Chains A and B, each alone.
Chain A
Amino acid sequence: AQSVTQLDSHVSVSEGTPVLLRCNYSSSYSPSLFWYVQHPNKGLQLLLKYTSAATLVKGINGFEAEFKKSETSFHLTKPSAHMSDAAEYFCVVSAIGNEKLTFGTGTRLTIIP
C-alpha cells in the first residue's frame, strides 16, 4: 500500500520569496514520486519526477524536490515565487511498474503581489 500526506492545504508567499510545499510518503515498495500542478480550468501537468536515480530532482519552471528516504519526505521548493506559480499542487506516489497513481489532497499556493 502507498500513500502521500501533504502537510499544508494552503500556502501563501510573497512574489520573489522562496516556496516550500511539504509532502511525506508511505510505500511498501521503492516508490516513484511526482509533483503535479493544476492551474484553474486546465489539466494536470507533471512538474517533476523521482524514479530512484538522483535524489535531487529538477523540474520545469524552476521547481525542484529532494527525495529523503530517512525522513520519507519529498518536499517541493522554488527559490523565488512568480505570480504564475499560483495553482494547486499535488504530491503523487506510485510503485515502479505499477501504473496507478496515488494523489495527495493538494496544496493551494497563493502568491501575494
Chain B
Amino acid sequence: GAGVSQTPSNKVTEKGKYVELRCDPISGHTALYWYRQSLGQGPEFLIYFQGTGAADDSGLPNDRFFAVRPEGSVSTLKIQRTERGDSAVYLCASSLSPRDDSYNEQFFGPGTRLTVL
C-alpha cells in the first residue's frame, strides 16, 4: 500500500519568504508527526497531531512555524519569514493512535528538503 508522501521533495526559497510543506499520511493513521533534520544531525521533533488537533507542539522553534491538519488527514507545515537557519529536511510520519501501554510504529515519509538562500 501507499506510504507517507510529502510534497514538494525539494523547495528553494529566499530569506523572508513564506513556504508550505505538505504531508499525506497513510490512510487510517490518526496520528501525524513533523520532525526536522538538519545536516549531520538526527531528526528533531516539531509537532504531533492526534486527529485534527495538535496534541503536542512543544518542538516548534518559534512563532514563525505553524502546522494544521483541518480534516484529520493531510497536514501542512507553514513557515513564515524564512531564515537561512530554517534550511533542513522536514520529515513527516504517521501512525495508528498511540496507546498508553503500547507503541505504534511511526512510518516516515521521504522528507522535503528546504533550502533558504
Contact = CB atoms under 8 A, between A and B. Distances in A.
A44 B98 contact: no
Which size bracket describes the interface of B in this complex? Answer: 20 to 34
Contacts, number: 65
Contact of B103 (A42, A43, A45, A51): A51
Interface string B76-99: 000000000000000101010011
A32 interface: yes
Interface string B34-59: 01000011111100100000011011
B89 to A, nearest CB: 10
Chain B interface mostly: loop
A100 B42 contact: no
Interface string A84-99: 0000001010101101
A105 B42 contact: yes
Given A51-B103, A96-B100, A96-B103, A102 B111 contact: no
A43 B108 contact: yes
B98 A99 contact: yes
A28 interface: no
B110 A99 contact: no
Given A94-B103, A99-B33, A100-B59, A44 B3 contact: no
Nearest to B92: A43
B109 interface: yes
Interface in A31-58: 32, 36, 41-46, 49, 51
B114 interface: no
